[in-house]
Amino acid sequence: MIQRIRSWVRGMAFRARSDSGMTTSEYAVGTIAACAFAAVLYKVVTSQPVMSALQSLLKDALDAKF
C-alpha cells in the first residue's frame, strides 16, 4: 500500500513539474514571427516578376483547349 502511494505521489510531482505547452512570451514571439513571415510572403507575391508569372500562368490555363 505504501509503495502505491509513493508511486502516485511521484507521478503527481512529475506531472506538476513537466513543462507542457507554451508560455505567454512564447506565444508572443511565435505571433510576431508568423506576422513577419506573412509580410515577407506578401511582398514576394505582390512583386512585379511574380505577378507577371502568375498572370501568364492563369492566362495559359484559361486559354487551354480541351
The C-alpha atoms of residue 51 and residue 43 are separated, in whole angstroms, by 11
Q: Looking at the predicted structure, is the pLDDT value of residue 12 above 80?
A: no
Answer with the residue of higher pLDDT: 18 or 28. Answer: 28
pTM attached to this predicted model:
0.50
- The CA distances from residue 60 to 46, 50, 57, in Å, are 20, 15, 5
Amino acid symbol at 28? A
How high is the pLDDT of residue 19? 59
Mean pLDDT of the chain: 85
Total residue length of the chain: 66
- Maximum alpha-carbon separation in the chain: 80
User: 33-66: per-residue pLDDT in tens?
Assistant: 999 999 999 999 999 999 999 999 999 899 877 7
